[in-house]
Amino acid sequence: MSFPSWPNFDEESINSTVSILKSGKVNYWTGIEGKKFEREFANWCGTDFAIALSNGSVALTAAYMALGIKEGDEIITTPRTFIATASTAMLLGARILFADVDTNSGCINVDSIKPLINKKTKAIVVVHLAGWPADMHSICALGKKYNISIIEDCSQAHGAKINGKNVGSFGDIATWSFCQDKIVSTAGEGGMITTSNENLWRHVWSLKDHGKDIDSVNKNDHSLGYRWLHETIGTNFRLTEIQSSIGRYQLKKLTEWNRIRTENALILIEKLRNFNLIRIPLPEKNLCHAWYKFYCYLIPSCLKKGWDRDRIISEIISEGYPAYHGSCSELYLEKCFENSIPNYAQIKSLPNAKLLGETSLMFLVHPTISRKQMKLYADVIANIIKRATS
């Protein structure tokens, strides 16, 4: 069978982009889509402000710059994330410290953060891995205690909630990605920042548009053209009108799409939960998992002789179905960090990150997969897991 792809752009979203192209109003300043997307996203997230940006990496860069991250500052984050979480801070001269993760959620563990805090620590960056919300209450309390900024990287968690409250509304500032296969995908690239801190919002807003002052833009008469608006130095991090239009459309679909993701994940859980070879962590009842991807973990002692993780993945792929080690490889194994991480010698002793990195299996649950297709997918996975179990 041909496995359903993601993202999928239906006729309504395609027609909307065509309409924008025909209008010629394709830039943030000529159209209305970007401004509406920002308002709607902030309202959906539960924050006072949102700023549409060109991609998630740019969003991280802007967040670090707004917080004043500079050379010599230290950032604590997780080793199980996309490289941009760390590399964008390093480009500003900051040093990265990796804390260990929770073995169930895969998110950064508050107890592993505490020993890394010192007078140079300026921010803790939390990644809600694969849609599982991190322990924001404990981490925010830690940040408040030590006067450390909390950044939420929500790139994999559109729609994840803690006690009914959206991730992206807990920390000082949050970043989002709308890249290729994300839960919300704005035609290849896209990003957003959410915050309820007006000073951070103003800083990012100015930074993303060449240093323009928002009050000068909104309150002055521009009948003779936009002139003398730049009070700081910035650059161009803006999102296009076409991408904002797609984002607005997908935001309206998000609740239904996440319902399907959850149903697809439950099919896998039901099919795999009784295998001794597989460990399937499940979130607590007060958490709403966004199911960007489905993770489970092998118990190596239960593998049949001649089987390993790579063979399981290869066997599933040979049946025509997708299977992966995971969406985020262990960053501490990337060569670029070898000479730039202060605690590099100790990093490889992070036992939980190492365990998850060596045992994780990842499967797809996106909403273009029908219930029938998902059951067939789950059957194939289960049959191969059964063969691999001792």
Q: Which residues contact 284 (CB under 8 A, 6 or more apart)?
A: none
Which of 180, 155, 189 has its CA nearest to residue 8? 180
> What is the pLDDT confidence band of residue 342, given thresholds at 50, 70 and 90?
low
> What is the pLDDT confidence band of residue 236, given thresholds at 50, 70 and 90?
very high
Label residues 134-157 b or e (16+ Cβ within 10 Å = b): bbbeebbebbeeeebbbbbbbbbb
pLDDT digits (tens, 9 = 90+) for 191-217: 999 999 999 999 999 999 998 888 777
Assess contact for 142 and 114: CB atoms under 8 A: yes
- What is the DSSP code (8-state) at residue 8? -
Q: Residue 318 pLDDT more than 70?
A: yes
Q: Average pLDDT of 354-360?
A: 95
pLDDT digits (tens, 9 = 90+) for 98-146: 999 999 999 999 999 999 999 999 999 999 999 999 999 999 999 999 9
Q: Average pLDDT of 25-30?
A: 95
Architecture of domain 11-252: 3-Layer(aba) Sandwich (3.40)
DSSP secondary structure, 244-311, as one string:
HHHHHHHHHHHHHHHHHHHHHHHHHHHHHTT-TTEE-----TTEE---SSEEEEE-GGGBPTT--HHH
Q: Which residues contact 106 (CB under 8 A, 6 or more apart)?
A: 80, 129, 130, 132, 295, 356, 360
Q: Residue 337 pLDDT more than 90?
A: no
Q: Average pLDDT of 22-50?
A: 98
Q: Residue 242 pLDDT more than 60?
A: yes
Assess contact for 255 and 190: CB atoms under 8 A: no
Assess contact for 162 and 137: CB atoms under 8 A: yes
297 vs 278: CA distance, rounded Å: 6
Rg of the chain, C-alpha, whole Å: 22
Q: Residue 348 pLDDT more than 70?
A: no
Q: How far is CA 190 from CA 168, 183, 296, 380, in A?
A: 16, 12, 29, 34
> What is the pLDDT confidence band of residue 2, given thresholds at 50, 70 and 90?
confident
Sign of CA dihedral 105, 83, 320, 261: positive
pLDDT of residue 346: 59
- In this structure, which amino acid lies at residue 328? C
pLDDT of residue 335: 84
285 vs 295: CA distance, rounded Å: 18
Whole-prediction pTM = 0.95
Q: Residue 226 pLDDT more than 70?
A: no
Residue 294, both tokens = 């489905």
359 vs 309: CA distance, rounded Å: 7
- What is the DSSP code (8-state) at residue 380? H
Percent of the chain scored above 90 by pLDDT? 87
Assess contact for 177 and 56: CB atoms under 8 A: yes
Q: Residue 224 pLDDT more than 60?
A: no
Task: Tell which CATH classification among 3.90.1150.10, 1.10.3230.20, 3.20.20.140, 3.30.300.30 matches the domain 254-388.
Answer: 3.90.1150.10
246 vs 124: CA distance, rounded Å: 31
Domain parsing of the chain, residue ranges: 11-252, 254-388
229 vs 109, higher pLDDT? 109
- In this structure, which amino acid lies at residue 308? D
DSSP secondary structure, 73-141, as one string:
-EEEE-SBS-THHHHHHHTTT-EEEEPPB-TTT-SBPHHHHGGG--TTEEEEEEE-GGGPPP-HHHHHH
- What is the DSSP code (8-state) at residue 338? T
53 vs 49: CA distance, rounded Å: 13
Q: Residue 340 pLDDT more than 80?
A: no
